[in-house]
Structure 1
Amino acid sequence: MCRSLGHMTEPLPGGFTSAELTALTTQARTELDLDGHEQQLLRGHTNAVVRIGPVVLKIARKGTTAPAVERTVALVRWLQEQGFPTVPLHSHHRQPLHLYGGALATVWTYLPQPAEPLAAADLAAPLATLHQLPTPPVPVRRLDNLRAIRRSLSATRTLDPDDMAFLRDRADRLERDLEQVAYVLAPSLVQGDPQHRNALHDSAGGRTVLCDWDTVAHGRPEWDLVTVEIHCRRFGHGPQHWVDFTAAYGFDVTAWSGYQTLRDIRELRMITTNARKARHTPGSLCEVQRRIKSLREDEDGLLWNIL
Structure 2
Amino acid sequence: MSLTFPAPATAPLPTGVALPLPAPGWGAPQALAALAEARPSLPVPLPEPAVVSALTTVVLRSGDLAVKVYPPGTDPGHLDRLRGALAGSTSAHLPLLPAVVTSYGVVTVAPWLPAARPVSWRALGGLLRAFHDEHAVAEVPVWRPLSRLASQVADLPEEAAAVLLGARDVLLTALDEVGSEVGVGAIHGDVSPSNVLRTPTGPRLIDLDWVARAPREYDLASAARRVRAGEISRRAYAGFCAAYGFDVRSWPGLPVLDRVADLGGVAFRLWDSRHHGRDLDWLAQELPVWRTAL
| TM-score interval, normalised by the smaller of the two chains | 0.7 to 0.9
Stretches of structure 1 lacking an aligned partner (at least 5 in a row): 1-12, 299-307
Q: Detail structure 1 runs of 4+ shifted over 6 Å in the superposition.
A: 283-288
SS at match of 2:263: helix
| Higher normalized contact order (CA 8 Å, seq sep 6+, divided by chain length) | 1
Stretches of structure 2 lacking an aligned partner (at least 5 in a row): 1-20
SS at match of 2:179: coil
Which one-letter code corresponds to 2:57 in the other structure?
N
Structure 1 residue 245, shift from structure 2 partner:
1.0
In structure 2, the partner of 1:192 is 189
In structure 1, the partner of 2:137 is 135
> Is 1:33 equivalent to 2:39 in the alignment?
no
**Equivalent of 1:89, from 85, 95, 100?**
95
CA distance in 1, matches of 2:278, 2:224: 22
In structure 2, the partner of 1:259 is 254
**Equivalent of 2:62, from 52, 62, 77?**
52
Tell me the TM-score normalized by structure 2: 0.75
Q: Spell out the pairing of 1:22-171 with structure 2 (5 A cutoff).
A: 22-28=32-38, 32-35=44-47, 37-42=48-53, 44-76=54-86, 78=87, 81-82=88-89, 84-90=90-96, 94-98=97-101, 100-101=102-103, 103-114=105-116, 116-133=117-134, 134-136=136-138, 139-145=139-145, 148=147, 151-157=148-154, 163-171=160-168
Structure 1 residue 26, shift from structure 2 partner:
3.2
What is the CA RMSD across the aligned residues, in angstroms?
Answer: 3.4
Identify the range of structure 1 (248-257 vs 226-235) with the bigger mean alpha-carbon deviation: 226-235
Contact 1:120 1:242 (C-alpha < 8 Å) held by counterparts: yes
Tell me the TM-score normalized by structure 1: 0.72
**Equivalent of 1:228, from 223, 227, 247?**
223
Change (3 A) 1:166 1:85: same
Contact 1:188 1:218 (C-alpha < 8 Å) held by counterparts: yes
The number of aligned residues is 267
Structure 1 residue 110, shift from structure 2 partner:
1.1
Identify the range of structure 1 (208-217 vs 266-275) with the bigger mean alpha-carbon deviation: 266-275
Structure 1 residue 163, shift from structure 2 partner:
4.9
Identity of aligned residues (%): 22
Structure 1 residue 162, shift from structure 2 partner:
6.0
CA distance in 2, matches of 1:117, 1:294: 39
Change (3 A) 1:218 1:111: same
Change (3 A) 1:249 1:28: same
CA distance in 1, matches of 2:262, 2:278: 16
Change (3 A) 1:69 1:291: farther
Change (3 A) 1:167 1:189: same
Structure 1 residue 276, shift from structure 2 partner:
4.2
